[in-house]
Amino acid sequence: MIIKHVPMRSLRKSNVVSLVDYLTNTQGRQERVGEITVTNCHSDRHAAASLEMLNTQSLNTRAKSDKTYHLIVSFRPGELPSAATVRAIEARVCHRLGFGEHQRMSVLHHDTNNVHLHLAINKIHPTRYTLHEPYNAYRAFGELCDSLEDAFHLERDHHQVRKTSGENRASDMERQAGTESLIGWVQRECLEELRAAETWAELHQVLHHHGLAIQPRGQGLVITAGQGTFVRASSVARDLSKQSLERRLGRFQPPGFVQSAKPTRRYEAKPVRSRMDTTALYARYQQDRLARTQGRAVAMQEARTRKAQSIDAAKRAGQIKRDTIKLTMRGRITKKLLYATVSQTLRSDLRQIVDRHRRDCAAITARYQRLTWADWLRQQALAGDQEALRALRARDAARGLSGDTIMAVGTRLVNAVVGAHQDSITKQGTIIYRVGLSAVRDDGTRLQVSREVTNDGIEAALRLAVQKYGTTIAVSGSDAFKTRVAEVAARCRLTIRFDDPTLEQQRQRLAQESRRPPTPETPSTTGPKQAAPPRFTPPSDALLRSLAERERKRLQIIRTPTVRRFEARDQGMVRFGAVEQIEGRHFALVHRQDETLVLSIDEATLKQFASLKRGHSLRVSSTGSITLGRGRRR
């Protein structure tokens, strides 16, 4: 795992309400926003809590820096920590940084290959109204990651600081935008030549060949690439700082004469190197970018023209009213009152015109939004462009799925069908499909079930693998995941074959057992009363969503609780919740840890539940038979 602080460098743009709105906005993707947790606030609703944090910040009038601390906790690809683990990690991180008593909100995001947790923390204390800024937080991040990985058995990551802040920002730009940064380009093209230069003249010559120049700025040196693009020399490499260069080459010397030879290379913001040729795609991207710029300019000019015409029309109408009053009305006081009314109406009309113009400008900006290279590829892939999808998957940042995955063996891969049924596509080219409460991720070679790994999700992943890749399937991951995959394949009678002989034998054995007629259970004459296992069709995905919405309204929480079908692995003690009747069928809702399980019940079981109170202990077997416990468990 990696912990990263996202500073807000412009104090004017710092707004905790805007940050919370961004974190909780689904952006039309069901898989983006997961669990939302509000801590140390009076309200559990994120909109009200953000206003509460803003009100607390307003009580500190002395602080001039950013009053909101934005933190990101990112997990390794394939890691899916439980809700309890995420909450424990959040608490320990905030306590270590000194924010244990501060107001905060955490939002879990699932729309990338790395599950990551956003923390919006109010740096103003809720009672003392003092600002807290962690000292040397980057050192605490490494220590925290090491301890948390050991405590929660997470996959280990690299936490040593090996890059400067400029290098980190450049790496983030290349990974998120997909285009080369000036720092990365200089490091790849001429860093070794710069280090080999023995005089300032040789250094200037190397830079000139690459269309660059070095010059003093402030207390250091900057490398410029023309058109106002420059970076600090120390950000490219620590040994290119002014102090290091003057120690090696002597006092700084500007270029002695104008170079006659033209540069052989120049920096351009082109796509980072990938495993496919993206020249044609990038040309399309530049054309689209130019068309967006021109379209935005035309639309803005039209909006300004409409605004000016509306203002002129309103002013003319006001002047006509004034002239009418002057010619037709008598009495000084009457005219004065009417003039005041006309002026008030004109001001109101002008405010409406300005507000309408602002809304039009916001709509135009959203319509002609300037997209980065990676975002444009995602947009084209969502529209069905297979070449754009391959370009996303060919990027070096596309590492592929890991962990509990399903893939094909010995068959020719079929291109993924990009259509309207997927939830979204990540910048690594992973397609996210929504299947009930589960999400199936497809990186082109592997399929992964994430977010509520249910049997329905595994079945959907297997059918998707058969449809796209073939019937010979390889399963990677834990033994428990492999066993569940074999059970689902046998229960659904899928025409597949596992490449693992042991797993294939297990599937065949389970398939044969599922074909045998069930043996009737002999009712027990002693012991607690036991209800017969349900023999009904399991609840549908639509019914589960309806029940989840009912539970959310009953609990008055902002996130949707986990509501899923009862499965054999859920056997054991549960707590009774309620009985729901939908479309003439009865369902029992029982609680197990943080989850709500749904079972189909018959009339006899319904009568037994009539006298039970919420929280009563029950025991459910793997077949779904229910044993009534002794009472309420506190």
Helix (H) or strand (E) holding 117: strand 116-122
The DSSP string of 182-207 is HHHHHHHHTHHHHHH--SHHHHHHHH
Least trusted range by pLDDT, from 296-300, 322-326, 385-389, 601-605: 601-605
Q: Which pLDDT score, from 0 to 100, does residue 278 have?
A: 86
Q: Which pLDDT score, from 0 to 100, does residue 225 have?
A: 86
| Residue 410 confidence class, pLDDT cut points 50, 70, 90 | low
Q: Fill in the amino acid letter for 468.
A: K
24 and 107 Cβ atoms separated by less than 8 Å: yes
pLDDT value at 530 more than 80: no
Using the Cα atoms of residue 580, residue 581, residue 582 and residue 586 in order, give the sign of their dihedral: positive
| Residue 519 confidence class, pLDDT cut points 50, 70, 90 | low
d(CA 555, CA 550): 9
Q: Fill in the amino acid letter for 66.
A: D
Mean pLDDT value of segment 238-244: 88
Q: Which pLDDT score, from 0 to 100, does residue 632 have?
A: 39
Using the Cα atoms of residue 176, residue 177, residue 179 and residue 183 in order, give the sign of their dihedral: negative
| Beta bridge pairs of residue 39 | 104
pLDDT value at 125 more than 80: yes
| Beta bridge pairs of residue 449 | 440
The DSSP string of 157-191 is ------S-HHHHHHHHHHHHH-B--HHHHHHHHTH
For the stretch 386-389, contacts whose Cβ atoms lie closer than 8 Å and that sit 24 or more positions apart, written own/partner, are 386/415, 386/418, 387/281, 388/281, 389/416, 389/418, 389/425, 389/429, 389/431, 389/444
- Tell the residue number behind the tokens 């899916």, with chain if given: 80
Angle between helices 165-177 and 373-382 (to 10 degrees): 20
Inter-CA distances, 227 with 182, 212, 310, 341, 526, Å:
12, 11, 39, 54, 88
Query: Which one is predicted more confidently, 408 or 492?
Result: 492
Q: Which pLDDT score, from 0 to 100, does residue 531 have?
A: 43
- pLDDT 10s digits, 419-432: 335 677 887 788 77
495 and 466 Cβ atoms separated by less than 8 Å: yes
Contacts of 489 (CB under 8 A, 6+ apart): 462, 496, 498, 507, 511
d(CA 395, CA 179): 11
Helix (H) or strand (E) holding 103: none
- Parallel, antiparallel, or unpaired: how do β-strands 562-565 and 595-600 relate? parallel
Helical spans, DSSP H, in 232-372: 233-236, 242-249, 279-328, 332-367
Mean pLDDT value of segment 25-50: 87
Could you tell me how far CA 536 lies from the centroid of its own chain? 38
Structure-block tokens of residue 294: 């021109």
Q: Which pLDDT score, from 0 to 100, does residue 538 have?
A: 66
Angle between helices 182-189 and 165-177 (to 10 degrees): 100
Mean pLDDT value of segment 550-571: 68
pLDDT value at 276 more than 90: no
pLDDT value at 629 more than 60: no
| Residue 580 confidence class, pLDDT cut points 50, 70, 90 | confident
User: Which letter does DSSP use for residue 271 in this model?
Assistant: B
Query: Which one is predicted more confidently, 234 or 606?
Result: 234
User: Which letter does DSSP use for residue 584 in this model?
Assistant: T
Q: How many CB atoms lie within 10 A of CB 585?
A: 13
Least trusted range by pLDDT, from 481-495, 499-513, 617-631: 617-631
Helical spans, DSSP H, in 469-540: 479-492, 501-515
Query: Which one is predicted more confidently, 412 or 481?
Result: 481
- Tell the residue number behind the tokens 């006001």, with chain if given: 318
- pLDDT 10s digits, 75-124: 888 788 888 889 999 999 999 999 999 999 999 998 888 889 999 999 99
Which among 531, 537, 523, 534 is positioned nearest to 601, based on CA atoms? 534
DSSP-derived 3-state class of residue 5: strand
Q: Which pLDDT score, from 0 to 100, does residue 307 have?
A: 95
Could you tell me how far CA 285 lies from the centroid of its own chain? 24
Length of the chain in terms of residues written:
634
- pLDDT 10s digits, 436-465: 656 777 777 777 776 556 677 777 778 777
- pLDDT 10s digits, 158-194: 766 566 666 677 777 777 788 888 888 888 888 888 8
Query: Which one is predicted more confidently, 634 or 627?
Result: 627
Which among 86, 30, 108, 28 is positioned nearest to 440, based on CA atoms? 30
pLDDT value at 611 more than 60: yes
pLDDT value at 526 more than 50: no
- pLDDT 10s digits, 294-315: 999 999 999 999 999 999 999 9
Q: Which pLDDT score, from 0 to 100, does residue 556 have?
A: 54
| Residue 596 confidence class, pLDDT cut points 50, 70, 90 | confident
| Residue 407 confidence class, pLDDT cut points 50, 70, 90 | confident
d(CA 123, CA 62): 13
Q: Which domains does the chain have, with CATH numbers?
A: 2-151 (3.30.930.30), 399-515 (no CATH), 530-632 (no CATH)
pLDDT value at 398 more than 70: no
User: Which letter does DSSP use for residue 528 in this model?
Assistant: S
Q: Which pLDDT score, from 0 to 100, does residue 537 have?
A: 59
Contacts of 251 (CB under 8 A, 6+ apart): none
DSSP-derived 3-state class of residue 4: strand
Q: Which pLDDT score, from 0 to 100, does residue 99 have?
A: 93
